[in-house]
Amino acid sequence: MNRILRLVELTLISLVWLVPVAWAADPVSISSLQAYPEAYKMKVVQVTGMISGYQMQHFIGSSSKLEKCIQNFLVDDGSGMIQASYAALCQMGPVLLKDGDQVTIEGHYLGTLDVKSVRKN
């Protein structure tokens, strides 16, 4: 029995180390996204660039009653520009952006970027 538990424990530890590798986004240029949109469609990608055209919207969920912050902006990496949207619960303290911020974002590519994480550089 101890042997089986040890095997399960080692398997779980191995999986925990593999998850970040499996979820890591591929760094791409915006010009590549625009040139080969079908190759990146629905994939998680990473883009680094500068924010412009920033807009913030707030709304309260009808059933959850939680305040949601939606940040819409353009990202320019020097090779092109793409529209991005970052939605989060305001109470969770999302990264708040502004025009001129240098960022690295990860998100699903759908012709625009549906941002899942943001890091200011």
What pLDDT sits at residue 3? 59
Average pLDDT on 91-105 reads 93
What pLDDT sits at residue 117? 94
Q: Which two tokens stand for residue 24?
A: 């890591």
> Given its phi and psi angles, is residue 83 left (phi above 0), alpha (psi -120 to 50 degrees) or beta?
beta
Q: How far from 106 is each of 30, 35, 61, CA to CA, in Å? A: 13, 19, 25
**Helix segments in the chain, DSSP class H:** 2-23, 30-35, 37-40
Average pLDDT on 72-97 reads 94
**Which sequence spans correspond to the domains of the chain?**
25-120
Class of domain 25-120: mainly beta
What pLDDT sits at residue 5? 46
Residue-wise pLDDT tens digits, 101-117: 999 999 999 999 999 99
What pLDDT sits at residue 60? 86
Residue-wise pLDDT tens digits, 15-68: 444 444 444 677 999 999 999 999 999 999 999 999 999 999 988 877 878 889
Residue 48 burial by Cβ neighbours in a 10 Å radius (0-12, 13-18, 19+): middle
pLDDT confidence tier of residue 91, bands split at 50, 70 and 90: confident
Helix, coil or strand: residue 88: strand
What pLDDT sits at residue 22? 44
